[in-house]
Chains A and B, each alone.
Chain A
Amino acid sequence: MTGQGALADATGVGDPAPLTAVVRPARLANGEGRSISLRDAFGEALLQLAQADPDIVVVDADLSNAVGLTSFPAALPDQYLQVGIAEQNAVGVAAGLATWGYRPVVTSFAAFLTSRSLDQVRVVVAQTGLPVVLVGGHAGLLAGRLGKTHVSMEDLAIMRALPGMTILAPADGVEMRGAIAAALAANRPVYLRSGRDPVPAFFAADHEVVLGAADLLREGDVACLLSTGSITPLAHAAVQLLAEAGHEVAHLHFGTVKPLSGAVVRDVARGRRLVITCEDHSRVGGFGSAVAEILSEEALVPVLRIGTDDVWVDSARNDALLALHRLTPADIAERIAERLTR
């Protein structure tokens, strides 16, 4: 067999498969709701949760205010532990607290938490299975103007390689609220990806976060776009542009990057010409790689992975970075249309 046509004939006969039960139709904000950053939504939600549960303890490597915990230390001083600029120790201390039934939430930037303290996350969190929630702030291009040392484009890839790690990447403030609650209730290691800048509400206020569930944002027979994290609203705008150009592309959002349901991914791929993944993350090893790993096992359909290329990200404004890396809605739509009309 050669060429895309042969591949599609061999693997994807018939109509698009119905989506499985773990794919839920999502209700969107549609202009309602307030614009809020992931970090501020995290901060507000965690404060509420911690007021109701004294076992929630923030272990902070001196970035609490930067990741959205502006009022937490003063409001709940007994549930806030400042360990200083020492991420490795922060993770170890959190693991120790977790042995007593505490629910530690470690806060730092994604770049530091997933790289500098990676070995600590690996040994005393992932290998022990202790329920530590790691919150990595300032992840992705949407935290521009920090540059390559501080902005992580590889955190999902790194965390995804750790057995037993659950990875959440919410799209907006509404989903972030549910995600931190779900992470604390999960009773296992969780990495929660957070962001810095205000984003309009994407999901309706009553959107429920269920770990492992995917949200169906739009139906479409030709192709299916799967996205995660805060690029989802941009990807959603892209599929609307594609529809206007006559390309009916389905769109699903995955707030959970790991575990990722192989059944769901295979279902949405079946019968479609192309699967597209979109993430505010490197094309190496992240969400797109996870999807491609599943689909490559059965060679169901080609996978177009949209993210940043294998390059370091310089400091610039968000808009400039999105344009440079071709991640604006128009860029995303153009990349997909180019592929569909090839």
Chain B
Amino acid sequence: MTTHASGVVDAAPPHGTEPMPRVTVAELDRLIATARTCRANVIRLVHHAGAGHVGGPLSAIDVLTALYFDVMRLDPQRPLWPDRDRFILSKGHSSPALYAVLAARGLLEDATLLTFDELGSPLQAHPDMRKSPAIDMSTGSLGQGFSAGLGIALGAQRRGSPARVYVLLGDGECQEGQVWETAMLAERLRVANLTAIIDWNGQQQVGWDAESDEPGRQETMLEPVAKWRAFGWQVHTIDGHDMAALVSALRACRTATAPTVILARTMKGKGVSFMEGDNAWHSRVMSDAECALALAELGA
């Protein structure tokens, strides 16, 4: 614990660049259970709202759980603690996942989840930093959260803060030119306190499925490892639903000496059998029966 001059005591664990210990089986079990609860809450809030994306949030939720429940330094009692780690959901349309995880972490009231997308709700269709102190940056227009994340990481360095910045991008989002403007500058400035995670679920709103029969040419990203390496980033490719792999890769970023990107292979709709890999669930509205079935599969 750190005691500030103001007398405020940090409840969150101290920052440090030392390697973190290996994740234990008990920790993993807890993270997996938390992710499952958050998946159920995504289903509930999207079904209740009758609007919002569902496939993308389910592909992102394991990454978010690993970040908010294991890797990031934060204090739910003080959401604006200056030295907290920051998270930016650059793929802002996966907001239901963020809201579910923030609520589970105690950074949002559970009751607000069912106000998603309604008049007066802090839970806007896309994350709005003006509506809740738990949201570190407004996003929704793709590519922009990454730039802002770079700015926040640079700000932390300038202030001498140990805060780290984690930005989750979509694989389709990497088609935005601004992503590569950001990647290029982060390399040039050696911004090692910035970690990008790509929610590599292999699908986007339309994509190239209908455009090409050539193997590999339908992918959302072509040669992503080579691209990010060429931009000077440390690249890790992992299974984005393997909690042990996620925690290990994200913990390792704490000792990075260059900006790091984690290519997390994921599946849209993960955790709900009839949604998995079916791009119809990008933003489809669930029937009551489908909602009940999904919740039953999630044991909720």
Contact = CB atoms under 8 A, between A and B. Distances in A.
Interface of A: 57, 81, 83-84, 86, 88-89, 91-100, 102, 119-120, 122-124, 127-129
A99 B137 contact: yes
A92 B150 contact: yes
A122 B140 CA distance: 11
Nearest to B138: A128
Given A124-B137, A127-B138, A128-B138, A88 B147 contact: yes
Interface in B137-182: 137-141, 143-144, 146-156, 158-159, 177-178, 181-182
Given A86-B181, A93-B148, A123-B139, 19 more contacts: A81-B154, A84-B181, A84-B185, A86-B185, A89-B181, A96-B147, A96-B149, A96-B150, A97-B154, A99-B136, A99-B137, A100-B158, A119-B144, A120-B147, A123-B140, A124-B138, A124-B144, A127-B128, A128-B138
Contact of B155 (A84, A102, A128): A102
B21 to A, nearest CB: 31
Contact of B147 (A89, A99, A100, A122): A89
Contact of A89 (B128, B139, B178): B178
B144 A120 contact: yes
B236 interface: no
Contacts of A96: 137, 147-155
A97 B148 CA distance: 8
B235 interface: no
Contacts of A120: 144, 147, 178
Chain B interface, >50% SS class: helix
A124 B148 contact: yes
B141 A123 contact: yes
Nearest to B86: A99
B129 interface: yes
B162 to A, nearest CB: 13
Interface of B: 128-130, 136-141, 143-144, 146-156, 158-159, 177-178, 181-182, 184-185, 188
A88 B151 CA distance: 12
A97 B159 CA distance: 10
A122 B144 CA distance: 11
Contacts of B148: 92-93, 95-96, 99, 124
Contacts of B155: 96-97, 99-100, 102
A129 B131 CA distance: 12
B154 A93 contact: yes
Contacts of A124: 137-138, 144, 147-148
Contacts of B158: 57, 97, 100, 102
A120 B159 CA distance: 24
Which of B138, B139, B151, B185 gathers the greatest number of chain A CB atoms within 10 Å? B151
Contacts of A128: 129-130, 137-138
A93 B188 CA distance: 14
B156 A92 contact: no
A97 B151 contact: yes
Nearest to B150: A93
Contacts of B154: 81, 93, 96-97
A213 to B, nearest CB: 28
B137 A100 contact: no
A100 B159 contact: yes
8 contacts: A86-B181, A86-B185, A88-B147, A88-B178, A92-B151, A93-B154, A96-B152, A127-B128
